[in-house]
Amino acid sequence: MEMAREIQEKTAVVKGVPVVEPSNKYFWFNRPDIILFLIHFTLFQVIFTLNNLSRLDLDMAKIKKIY
């Protein structure tokens, strides 16, 4: 709501100039580095898990082939 109020307070409209100025004030809890770290960490965990599951699946296929 603060961002909407801030936009309404600006009365001068200039063609071609964006009304909203990007900032970390209203988004990412004012700490984008922490959120980006959590996103990277989560993606790494998912990829690592998928890699281990695929390797396990290949190993099980080899074992079944032998016996």
Q: What is the pLDDT of residue 40?
A: 95
Both structure tokens of 49:
């898990």
The whole-model pTM stands at 0.49
DSSP line for the chain: -HHHHHHHH-----TTS-SPPP-SSSSGGG-HHHHHHHHHHHHHHHHHHHHHHHHHHHHHHHHHHH-
Torsion of CA 13, 22, 1, 5, to 10 degrees: -30
Q: Read off the pLDDT of residues 18-65 as tens digits, 9 standing for 90 and up.
A: 666 677 776 777 778 888 899 999 999 999 988 888 887 777 777 777
